[in-house]
Amino acid sequence: MATFVLVHGAWHGSWCWQRVRRTLRELGHEVFTPTLSGVGERAHLLSPGIDLTVHIQDVANLIRWEELSDVVLCGHSYAGLVISGVAEQMPERIAALVYLDAFLPESGQSLHDTLPPEISDHQRAMARDHGGGWKVPPNPAAMFAVNDQDRDWVDRQCTPQSLATFEQPLIFSEKAGSIPDIRYVLATGWSHSPFAAFRDLAAKRGWRTSTMACGHDVMLDLPAELAAVLDGVAAG
């Protein structure tokens, strides 16, 4: 049995992992799917003060207070920054890192630093025009090529996220390099993906990489297949 901590991406919540969580538990694993502060069922906590540090602490505190060890820590999309920060704080608790179609920052970069300027500028404009200057409305599910059956549900479930989470730089010292197993999984089924470059960077670092032919929300498009990939990570 392995212990998984699965961290959702921007605007999502624990809800997006329902299918994968169920399958992994049926396989006998222990699975935690924290919702980050200010989104999903924790949307009532949204404030301008929620930044990347808060989200990293959300996950680190879960691991600490649940007294977890040998964790397979998986981060989707924006959560690539979150799991990088958690790995910096507690590498001794983590058996494997999985970047799932995720941002892979260099130390000193924010999420906006990893994006083309026109996308970062668009998000800032959305915050200014539709989010009181400090929160970013969610992108539509269709932009991420979410499967047709789930698109309306995803659009209903996603909630705004604090702009500060996208703009705070992440500083780390490569402590994650001591983690024995680090992998990158690229979703290849959506045309606007910025993540192929991160997969290539992961390969240059000697990490294991793989692809899944689906939209960005892999846990919704191919939940059984993703659960099998994660089960394989646990098996080594």
Q: At 103, which CATH number?
A: 3.40.50.1820
**Token pair of 195, please?**
């993540």
CB-facing half-sphere around the CA of 81: CA atoms within 13 A: 28
Question: Sign (positive/negative) of CA torsion 80, 29, 175, 50?
Answer: positive
Check residue 191 and give its pLDDT. Answer: 83
Q: Give pLDDT < 50 ranges for the chain.
A: none
Check residue 175 and give its pLDDT. Answer: 66
Exposed, middle or buried by CB within 10 Å (0-12, 13-18, 19+), for 17? buried
Question: Sign (positive/negative) of CA torsion 175, 50, 68, 158?
Answer: negative
Check residue 192 and give its pLDDT. Answer: 79
Closest CA to 67 of 3, 7, 134, 119: 3
Around Cβ 192, how many Cβ atoms within 10 Å?
A: 10
**Can 77 be counted among the known catalytic residues?**
yes
DSSP assigned state of 92: G
Check residue 193 and give its pLDDT. Answer: 83
Check residue 236 and give its pLDDT. Answer: 83
What's the number of domains the chain is made of? 1
**Domain containing 156: what range?**
3-235
Catalytic-labelled residue, pool 77, 84, 110, 162: 77
Distance CA 77, CA 175 (A): 21
**Token pair of 101, please?**
């179609």
Angle between helices 79-89 and 52-65 (to 10 degrees): 50
For residues 9 and 99, is the Cβ–Cβ distance under 8 A? no
Around Cβ 232, how many Cβ atoms within 10 Å?
A: 11
